[in-house]
A and B are shown apart, each in its own frame.
Chain A
Amino acid sequence: MKTALLVTSLLLCVFCASTCQIPPVPPEVEKVKSQENDLWRAGAPIYAAEEYALYIETLRVAREKLIKQNARLRWFRDYKEVRADYVVLLAQGDALIEKVQAEKRTQSKDYSQRLARLEERMGKIKSLTRSMNENAPVRENLARAAVVSREAEILIRDEKYSDLAPKLDLIDGHIRQAEEALFSILARYADDAQVARWRKLAEDTVSESRRRGTTAVLVNKLARSLTLFKKGKEIAVYEIGLGKHGLSDKLYAGDEATPEGRYRIVKKNANSRYYKALLLDYPNEYDRRQFALAKKKGLIPAQAAIGGLIEIHGGGNDFLTNGCVGVENAVMDRIFSEVAVGTVVTIVGSLENAQKLLTGLGISGS
């Protein structure tokens, strides 16, 4: 009888074990697993580190509860609390994904704007170098900045924002070096006293033209312009080209600089190798004094000669002269017909202080 009872009990247990409904692990558990993977791929550990750490901690606690339930005998498992925790986690994860995406959008916008500002600076400097033949150190730094800028563009495209800050700093560094190189070229042009001297020279030339009723030529090196005056009145403005170091004041032969000062046309050559040419009386007395002083100070090679043959000639304004002022042939025809031997030609660096120009680029110049 006892044996029958024992067997019946065992059979009952086996029956219960096979027919009793065992609560399944909530589907939210798998969903969270996949969600956590998505969060990691989206870069949550980088773009929402604090929230992601909190999410992982909540997940750890929920997992502990899941483990606890899984460890119980299957008939006694109750996943209600576990499910509730994982539902909360899913909501937390969804919010986190949105935050990560929002953060990435913000970073993309911020970095794109910073990069655009840097590229704008590069563009401004580059445009200045186009009218400046001594641009090599500036262009070199701009080229280096352009390489890093392209790398930064690719990082933004690939959403690798964490690597961007140092790249942007590097671009900024190269731009600063380009600006410094630019400033070293334009420093003279940002000097008030120097600009005032040039202005005075130009005003005297125009006044003389007005007073004597003569024609005068004013060359502005920084503005790359040649202005023709008749009886003190501006009658035409033309674009010019200069030498490799056209923005520097000429000191000696072969320096490829264009002299600054008051000169006169000493010869009109209608058959120049550069179409037509107007020979100037460079070097004048002032130039000779400056040359002697520079030589004495050792600023120029001991064997250097003062040079000469500075002309306004045709052949075009878009090529490098050896210190002369180049204009288009059609312009040369017009000038040639308006001037005579003895016409005053005043060459100045600039009539405007370049500080304004440099400040526009964000260079203090001080």
Chain B
Amino acid sequence: MKKFSLFLVLGIFVVSLFSSCAKQPTQAIDTAKAAIEAASNEGAVVYAADELKKLNDDMQAAMDEVNTQDKKFLKKFGTAKEMLAKVQADAEALKATIPAKIEAAKNAAIQAQAEARTALDEAKALLEKAPMGKGTKADIMAMKADLAGLETSFAEIQTALDGADYFGASAKAATIKEKATVISDQVKAAIEKVKGR
């Protein structure tokens, strides 16, 4: 019986010793943090802000688990490691999706730029063949000046594209398209006005 008690106490001591000596999963922490940083640097801040926020929240939860275990007498970092591994995997998965998101935004901006170009060309062509007669010449001249202003703004789309500001480029292109279409409609109305005489 004495022997059994001795072994029991010794066993508990050994288990306690090993448990309390379990170390923080610093490598897993660093790896997860680095994975988030990499996703962020890839462009997640702009192209996947919500997902990045969730990743950071998950990282915080994992760190809370690490800190909780760290304060325990019997430390078990298994759950924390799993959480950190998931954060790392999620961050890497997110990072992998960013180039496609950037590409999609870029393509959308290029598409919007092309549409703006078409709208400008259409307005220009209409203005060229618009009858510069009574009641329209001054209007046509004013619209040509408006179109020249839009042409200057159009060049700014490329500047935005070159600076990888794809959302800005898309917004500007959409606006220019909208304004050019208004000019086309006005030219058509002016043509109709002349036809109606």
Residues of A within 8 A of B (CB): 2-3, 33, 37, 40-41, 63-64, 66-68, 70-71, 129-130, 133, 135-144, 146-148, 150-151, 154, 241, 244, 315-316, 318-320
Contacts and interface: CB of A to CB of B under 8 A. Distances in A.
Contact of A320 (B53, B141, B146): B141
A241 B133 CA distance: 13
B145 A136 contact: yes
Nearest to A241: B138
A318 B171 contact: no
Contacts of B34: none
Interface string B143-163: 011111110110000000000
Contacts of A70: 68
Contacts of B150: 143-144, 147
A147 B138 contact: no
Contact of A3 (B1, B148, B172, B175): B1
A137 B146 CA distance: 9
A150 B179 contact: yes
Contact of A67 (B50, B68, B175): B68
B138 A136 contact: no
Contacts of A148: 153
B134 A147 contact: no
A140 B71 contact: no
Interface residues of B, number: 35
B149 A144 contact: yes
A147 B153 contact: yes
A214 to B, nearest CB: 32
A71 B71 contact: yes
Contacts of A319: 133-138
B58 to A, nearest CB: 11
B69 interface: yes
B145 A147 contact: no
B67 to A, nearest CB: 5
Contacts of B72: 71
A316 B135 contact: yes
A13 to B, nearest CB: 13
A141 B136 CA distance: 22
A141 B175 CA distance: 15
Contacts of A154: 171, 175
Contacts of B132: 320
A146 B73 CA distance: 67
B69 A71 contact: yes
B30 interface: no
A347 B137 CA distance: 23
B152 A139 contact: no
Contact of B149 (A41, A133, A139, A318): A139
Contacts of B68: 67, 70-71
A134 to B, nearest CB: 9
13 contacts: A37-B53, A136-B144, A137-B145, A141-B149, A142-B149, A143-B147, A143-B153, A147-B150, A147-B179, A151-B175, A241-B138, A316-B134, A320-B141
B69 A135 contact: no
Interface in B107-158: 132-138, 141-142, 144-150, 152-153
B48 to A, nearest CB: 14
